[in-house]
Structure 1
Amino acid sequence: MVLKYEFYINAGKEEVWNALISPEGTRSSFVGCELRSNFQPGQPFAYVGPGNDGPETVHVYGEILEFEPLSRLGYREHPGPSYHSNHAEQHSRVLFQLETVGECTKLTLSNDEFTDNYPSIANAQNSWWMILSSIKTWVETGKTINFGW
């Protein structure tokens, strides 16, 4: 299964990239989480924020696969330990790509390579729409969307 989403954001690649990797950007768009990583391929990353385990809950973690500033961010991810006891066995691949289109930025997200019986696929299908909508709103207006999470 491949989940693929395309959003056109009325901003430059720098602003959209900032929403994907900066603490301020990810807190605004990824359910209050910060993306923590040195962004070197082969190195770990984690989305950390309020949740089941308190303010430092690891929601998603894994390994950076590719990092091309203002262009591509790819990683292999696992659901956080507080969500599934077999979290280390479950994974998928996520790839964000940015492309300039006219005076805006096209943000494409692909989520694929799910392990068999991936426990969070339905959640991913629903959540990516909300996260990408949040990125678009935050970049274009500076405001966040409150989904009641």
Structure 2
Amino acid sequence: MDLKYQFYIAAKKEDVWQILISPEGTKKTVYGSTIRSTFEIGASIDYVGPGKDGDETVYLYGNVLEFEPNQVLSYSEHPGPSYYPDHAEHTTRVTFTLETVGNCTKLTVINDQWSANHPSRVHTENNWPVILSNIKTYAETGSTLDLGW
């Protein structure tokens, strides 16, 4: 059930990293949501944006498991409370890893440790390629994909 994706991006690790951890970067690349966290181990991490509860809809929330600047970000994840009444029971883990390869950055994402019968599994599998393509395009060009949404 693990999801794993690898993208090669013609940008420096530091630039890709900023897209992953900055509110501006996630707003551009993750469906308009902004990331909120201090990134200390154990700290909360939330992706918040426009949705069912208005501009402050929590898309996903969890806790930071690992944080090594420009190298690794890992966190537990639950779907936002407005999407499932039993949201706290549904969990998974997301790990971003960055490596320099030549003049590029290899971005690996592993989404694993899915709880049984997680209702967002298929939706998430379809969303990762869009998010990662947006990250790649934004890092390389300064613009995101125009998907007509």
TM-score where L is the length of structure 1: 0.98
Distance in 2 (CA, whole Å) between partners of 1:6 and 1:12 is 16
User: Which residue is 1:83 aligned to?
Assistant: 83
Post-superposition offset of 1:120: 0.2
Letter in 1 for 2:116: D
User: Which residue is 2:130 aligned to?
Assistant: 130
Letter in 1 for 2:123: N
Residue identity over aligned pairs, in percent, reads 57
For structure 1, the 5+ residue unaligned runs are none
RMSD: 0.8
Post-superposition offset of 1:24: 1.1
* 3-state DSSP of counterpart to 1:84: coil
Distance in 1 (CA, whole Å) between partners of 2:35 and 2:136 is 18
User: Which residue is 1:24 aligned to?
Assistant: 24
Post-superposition offset of 1:145: 1.8
Q: How many residues align?
A: 149
For structure 2, the 5+ residue unaligned runs are none
Letter in 2 for 1:103: N
TM-score where L is the length of structure 2: 0.98
* 3-state DSSP of counterpart to 2:6: strand
Post-superposition offset of 1:113: 0.3
User: Which residue is 2:140 aligned to?
Assistant: 140
Which structure 2 residues correspond to residues 49-88 of structure 1 after superposition, within 5 A? Answer: 49-88=49-88
Letter in 2 for 1:135: I
Question: Runs (4+) of structure 1 moved beyond 4 Å?
Answer: none
